[in-house]
Amino acid sequence: MNRTLSLLAVLSLSSLAAAEGPPKPGPEVKALAPLVGSFAMKGHAPAGALGPGTPEMPSTGKVVCGWTLDNFWLSCEVDETIGTGKDAWKMHIRFLAGWDRESSAYRAVGLDNTGTSTYFSGKLEGTAFTVEALGNYNWQGKPAKEKLTFDFTDPKSIRFDHQMSYSGAPYAPFEQAALVRR
């Protein structure tokens, strides 16, 4: 009899899950909606950010973000130039971010045209979405971590702060920019 009741309970739960259908994006995912759109990027990298002795440099670019994978994840394409002239850094970045419902945490991954991948864990506090690298990777021969913050207090001009930590030192500014909605 107990086996029969157990089987009926499993079948009832299975049919309940089937009736509800597949998962839908929740409020944690929808909270990232201010980042959806097309943005002009304008900012700067402070002196020393791109290596010892490098001057402060302007940064410009474009960022286009939209939903992907049934609206569970934010997918951003970033085309950016830091500096000017022959020494300018031209970056192409693909950034995916969203709420991982299995771990109940924000997760992100960044991939770029230098062959680097960075995996992030994040949090949303008010209007500031911050992701911090999980573990270190090497940048210019040093162990490095990064932290990205998107502050969408003003959804028409999102503040972007990119910070780096080298060899376990405190985070320092790498780039600050405004993402101005087009």
Confidence of residue 116 (pLDDT cuts 50, 70, 90): confident
pTM here?
A: 0.86
Report pLDDT digits (tens) over 124-146: 999 999 999 998 788 778 898 99
Instruction: Return the pLDDT at 8.
Output: 44
Q: Give the whole-angstrom CA distance, residue 145 versus residue 164.
A: 6
* DSSP reduced 3-state for 3: helix
Count of Cβ atoms closer than 10 Å to residue 101 Cβ: 13
Q: Which fold has domain 2-181?
A: Lipocalin (2.40.128)
Question: Rounded to whole angstroms, how far apart are CA atoms 71 and 75?
Answer: 10
Find out whether 97 and 122 touch, Cβ atoms under 8 Å: yes
For the chain, give the percent of residues with pLDDT over 90: 74
DSSP code, position 24 = -
Tell me what pLDDT residue 135 has. 85
Residue-averaged pLDDT of the chain: 90
The mean pLDDT value for 96-117 works out to 95
Domain positions in the chain are 2-181
